[in-house]
Amino acid sequence: MTIKILIGSLLVGFCFSSVALANNRCLRELKRNDVSFQRVDKKHIDEGVKISGEIGDVLYQSQTQQDLIIDCPLAYALSRLSPLLRSMGITKVIWSSAYDIRKIRGTKKYSRHSFGLAIDIVGVEHEGKIFRVSDHYEQGLGNKNNCIGEPLTKGGAILRSMFCQWDASGLFRIILTPDYDAGHYHHFHVEVDPNRLK
Ligand SMILES: [Zn+2]
C-alpha cells in the first residue's frame, strides 16, 4: 500500500459529534462500549478504573507491565476512538505512563497524570509491525489546512494520521507530540478534559 493511499483511506468518514456524557453515566457508557474494567479508588482520581486488556478491540499494553489505571472519562474517550484505530489497522497501543502523581516539569503544578486524566503513548502495532513515536514519528509535518502533511514513511503516516484524527475528534484537551518539545520526543501525551465530555 502506498503512503498516499494509506493516508486517503485513513481520512475517510471520521466525524465526531460533540459527546454527551454526564459524570454519573461514565461507567455505564464504558460497559456499553464493551470495556472490561474494575473500579479502583485512587488518590486524586474521581472515578478510577483499572483496565486489563482491550478497550473496544484495541489492546492497551504497558511497556512496563503495569495495569492501566485512569479516570473514567479518559477511558471513555479512548473507547470512542477504538473503532477508528481498528479501521486504520491498529490493534495495539503501547503506553509508558498513565496514572502517576507527579508535577509538570519545572513547575509546582500537578500533571494531569496525577488525576488519571492523561496517558503517554509510545507506539502502536499496525498489521503486526510496531511503530514507535521515537523511531517513526516525522517531526514538522502538517499545517492548518493539512494536518497530516506529507510523511515519507509508512510509520510516519500512521502516527501522524493517528494524531490528526485524535486531535480532530474533540475528545481531548490537548495532545502533545515530539513537535512540542524535546521532552516529548518519544511519546504522545494525550490528555482529556472531563468537562468537555459532559
Ligand atoms: Zn504525559
pLDDT tens digits for 119-135?
999 999 999 999 999 99
pLDDT tens, 24-75? Answer: 789 999 999 889 999 999 999 999 999 988 998 999 999 998 999 999 999 9
CA 184 to ligand 1 center in whole angstroms: 8
Q: What is the pLDDT of residue 2?
A: 53
Cβ atoms of 127 and 120 within 8 Å: the answer is no
Mean of pLDDT values over 161-176: 95
pLDDT for res 181: 87
Give the three cell numbers for residue 25: 453515566
Structural domain of residue 139, as residue ranges?
Answer: 3-197
pLDDT of residue 19: 44
Q: 177 CA distance to ligand 1 centroid (A)?
A: 10
Q: Which CA distances in Å does 178 have to 59, 65, 109, 139, 159?
A: 23, 24, 22, 7, 11
Q: How far is CA 98 from the centre of its chain?
A: 11
Cell of 108: 509546582
| Confidence class for position 184, pLDDT limits 50, 70, 90 | confident
- For the chain, how many structural domains are there in total? 1
Minimal CA–CA distance to 124: which of 174, 162, 178, 171?
A: 162
Confidence category of residue 160, pLDDT binned at 50, 70, 90: very high
| CA 120 to centroid of ligand 1, rounded, Å | 5
Q: How far is the CA of 98 from the centre of ligand 1 (A)?
A: 7
Amino acid letter, residue 72: C
7 — pLDDT class (breaks 50, 70, 90): low
R_g over Cα of the chain: 16
**Identity of the amino acid at 24:** N
CA–CA separation, 64 vs 57, rounded Å? 21
| pLDDT for the residue 141 | 95
pLDDT given at position 140:
94
Question: Of how many residues is the chain composed?
Answer: 198
Whole-angstrom distance, CA of residue 197 vs CA of residue 177 = 22
What's the CA-to-centroid distance between 123 and ligand 1, angstroms?
14
Whether 177 shows a pLDDT value over 90: the answer reads yes
**Residue 129 confidence (pLDDT):** 97
**All 3 cell numbers of residue 197?**
465530555
Neighbours of ion ligand 1 (CB under 5 A): 118, 120, 189
Interval 64-122: pLDDT, tens: 989 999 999 999 999 999 999 999 999 999 999 999 999 988 899 999 999 999 999 99
* pTM of the model as a whole: 0.87
Q: What share of the chain is helix, strand, coil (3-state, %, to 5)?
A: 35, 25, 40
Which CATH number fits the domain that encloses residue 115? 3.30.1380
Which pLDDT does position 92 carry in this prediction?
97
